[in-house]
Amino acid sequence: MQLSIALPCFNEEQNIERTVSDVMQWFEREKIDGEIIVVDDGSMDGTAKVLARMATRMPQLKIVTHEKNKGYGSAVRSGCDAATKEFMGYMDSDGQFRTEDFGQLLQFLPEYDFVTGKRTKRADSVIRWLNARLYRLLVLVALGVWVTDLNCAMKVWRRSLWPKIRPIYSTGALINGEIFYRLHRNNIPWKEVSVRHFPRLFGKQTGANIWVILKMFRDLFALKKAVLREGN
């Protein structure tokens, strides 16, 4: 198995080493020919120093740096663009997922070209849970796509699929909505698989930030205009 895993990262000084090590240990246990692509999305803490230190002893670690914060979607896209292995995927770098759960997704790749996680129990605040439900409904109404756990940040697919599903308009939180829209438009079926979700122990979540939400609406408006031009 050849696998690239992208880790979008913003101000994760306290989490990133643990997450990268978790991925690396899983690669070794499962004998995976893997690469880890961490996208430092303009972090303002000590994230860059931690990554530089780790890169000296981990040849499988690639670092992509955004000089300024471009948003979650842009970080995911940059990481996936840099992937070189036959299969690729991404996971959040905040420690809320366990890399070994990728094993649950990989077993379905012979049948599906795209497999996404579905959190069995979301370890987030009520506000984030509510935001996720509203976002899921918004994507259904605007783009005609329904996914049980749209924003689950654990996904894997064949790299050859990336040009077809690569987001164009989503720089922030809309990234998953646009990916699934492009899967739907290209008649590519996907599989949802249950994965675990853990509380964030360190750092600060930004998903419920008002600016993140407003940016998502901006991206959705641009994508919806494109959809209308395409006749959908």
- For the chain, the structural domain boundaries read 2-229
Confidence of residue 161 (pLDDT cuts 50, 70, 90): very high
SS3 for 112?
coil
- Dist CA 3 CA 16 (whole Å): 19
**pTM of the model as a whole:** 0.89
Question: What CATH number was assigned to the domain covering residues 2-229?
Answer: 3.90.550.10
Averaged pLDDT, 49-73: 95
Residue 13 CA: distances (Å) to CA of 10, 59, 86, 211: 9, 20, 30, 22
Res 118 pLDDT > 80? yes
pLDDT digits (tens, 9 = 90+) for 174-220: 899 999 999 999 999 999 999 999 988 876 766 556 667 777 777 77
Residues with Cβ within 8 Å of residue 40, at least 6 apart in sequence: 9, 10, 47, 48, 51, 63, 64, 65, 66
- Dist CA 70 CA 179 (whole Å): 18
pLDDT digits (tens, 9 = 90+) for 85-117: 999 999 999 999 999 999 999 999 999 999 999
